């Protein structure tokens, strides 16, 4: 995950130092830097910004006024030469408060806090999870009064209906009398991913992804909003 940072400080030297720090950290990306807070707000309107490194005391618009205008669009780390602003800054629920001159180790601790706040819990869990064991390559599913052997490589996607599941494979559609939760426990995590409350897809059969849609040949499936971050994280790792 990359955190897109905007630096807003009326002192060019302070910007240079913070920009240098951003360049040293692999999970940070500089989205812009400006001595003009009004220009900073314009940058936020024009492109996504996750974190603002914001000076408090500026002549045209203070950092606290900047935050009120920006609202909840992103996280803020305040920087200032005056300790007296610390309490007021924390009252605005900022990530951290850095006293100038800012040391690199202190800066690193502050942006790491932002990383943990921004990174989805599902992604953190995935990064810390043990490597899944190799599966047997097939599962048995119950359909009416039979158990049907299904090769995992043949499964395109699984669709949740009202009281049952439908396994869409390269050969046929299989009605499966089981819950999503039970079936997910049988599927190897390395090969399958939940993308919607109604869909589990096989990564190997995805032909393209466009915003909130997955293409599998002629089939188009929607990605649920609550599943989007975890799905794109899986795609990036592949």
Statement: 138-237 belongs to CATH 2.40.50.1020: yes
- Asked whether 231 and 205 are in contact (CB, 8 A), the reply is no
Q: How confident is the model at residue 132 (pLDDT cuts 50, 70, 90)?
A: very low
Q: How confident is the model at residue 84 (pLDDT cuts 50, 70, 90)?
A: low
Statement: 3-119 belongs to CATH 3.40.50.2300: yes
pTM of the model: 0.52
Average pLDDT score over residue span 53-57:
93
Q: Report whether pLDDT(53) > 90.
A: yes
- Beta strand 213-216 with 208-210 is antiparallel
Residue tagged 């592949």 (tokens):
238
Query: What are the tens digits of pLDDT across the range 105-128?
Result: 999 999 999 998 887 643 544 455
Q: What is the mean pLDDT of the chain?
A: 85
- Output the six-digit token pair for 173: 């559609």
Query: What are the tens digits of pLDDT across the range 136-160?
Result: 688 888 876 778 889 999 999 999 8
Question: How far is CA 50 from its chain centroid?
Answer: 11
Q: What ranges do the domains of the chain cover? A: 3-119, 138-237
């Amino acid at each position: 995950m990359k955190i897109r940072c905007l630096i807003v400080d009326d002192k060019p030297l302070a910007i240079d130092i913070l920009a240098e720090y951003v360049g040293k950290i692999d999970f940070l990306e500089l989205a812009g830097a400006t001595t003009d807070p009004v220009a900073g707000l314009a940058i936020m309107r024009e492109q996504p910004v996750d974190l603002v490194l914001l000076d408090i005391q500026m002549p045209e618009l203070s950092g606290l006024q900047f935050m009120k205008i920006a609202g909840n669009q992103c996280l803020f780390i305040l920087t200032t030469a005056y300790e007296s602003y610390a309490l007021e800054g924390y009252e605005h629920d900022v990530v951290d408060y850095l006293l100038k001159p800012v040391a690199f180790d202190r800066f690193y601790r502050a942006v790491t806090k932002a990383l943990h706040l921004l990174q989805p819990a599902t992604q953190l869990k995935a990064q810390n999870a043990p490597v899944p064991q190799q599966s047997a390559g097939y599962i048995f599913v119950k359909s009416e009064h039979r158990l049907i052997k299904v090769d995992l490589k043949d499964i395109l996607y699984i669709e949740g209906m009202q009281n049952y599941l439908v396994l869409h494979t390269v050969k046929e559609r299989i009605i499966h009398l089981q819950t999503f939760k039970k079936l997910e426990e049988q599927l190897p995590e390395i090969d399958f991913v939940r993308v919607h409350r109604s869909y589990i897809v096989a990564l190997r059969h995805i032909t393209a992804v466009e915003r909130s849609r997955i293409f599998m040949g002629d089939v188009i499936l929607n990605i649920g909003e609550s599943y989007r971050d975890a799905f794109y994280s899986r795609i990036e790792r592949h």
